[in-house]
Amino acid sequence: MSVQLLLQDGLVALAVAASAGFVVVQRFPGAVRRARIALALPLLREPRARWLQAIGRRVAPAPAAAGCAGACGGCERAASH
């Protein structure tokens, strides 16, 4: 297999993976949030190295808001208020 075909196949695979990731993030935000929490929690434990804890902080999602103010437009309850 030539290098050009290998590079082309690699770029197509990268584009497909990025597209699939975008769709998953857009269509299943709750599942993505739960997965990020599941990945971050073991890294944030106390006996871990500082660099692992730093990775865990980057992976962890932002804290959820305490109440739905309706300003974000992200939840179904905003339409009923």
Annotated domain spans of the chain: 3-80
Alpha helices in 1-81 (DSSP H): 3-27, 29-44, 50-59, 77-80
- pLDDT tens digits, residue range 22-78? 999 999 999 999 999 999 999 998 899 999 999 999 999 988 776 655 555 556 554
pTM of the model: 0.64
Count of H helices and E strands in the chain? 4, 0
pLDDT of residue 46: 87
Instruction: Kindly report, residue by residue over 6-17, the tens digit of the pLDDT.
Output: 999 999 999 999
